[in-house]
Amino acid sequence: MKKVLKAAWKGISVSAVIFVVSCMIRGFGDGAEKFSSGTGMGYLCLAAIAIGIGFGVPSLIYNTDLPTGLKVLIHMGIGITVMLAVSVAVGLIDFSRGFTACLIVAGVQIAVAFTVWALSCVRVRRLAKEMNGRIAEKK
């Protein structure tokens, strides 16, 4: 249970940072008096938490002996499914704006998700290389 909570918190943390940055971009882009507030902002905050959990908890799959490709498919598949479902639920993906607009928003979200995943992979590989170097020095 402790691992699940830790993974969920890590996902929420990353999601919160992305949420704050996207709020700044949208806020500056939309100008005064046009950005979400009140209940709308509350729903967006809950969405960021749900998306963070949707990516964080499935990341525990990397602690198994499954093939790497399957791990990525499970982790990112669940995360992206949760992200898109939550985005539709809170109106980030708004079908009234047209199909093309929905595809663009979903595409940007998926691109950001894979960018965060790729950066995480680079960090983990760098850490593993450093640890292996330290082990080799001790031999």
Per-residue pLDDT of the chain (139 residues; tens, 9 = 90+): 899 999 999 999 999 999 888 888 877 766 665 556 678 788 888 999 999 999 999 999 999 999 999 999 999 999 999 999 999 998 888 899 899 999 999 999 999 999 999 999 899 899 989 999 888 888 7
For residue 56, what are the domain limits? 2-138
Q: Is the dihedral of CA 67, 86, 99, 109 positive or negative?
A: negative
Domain count, the chain: 1
Q: What is the pTM of this model?
A: 0.82
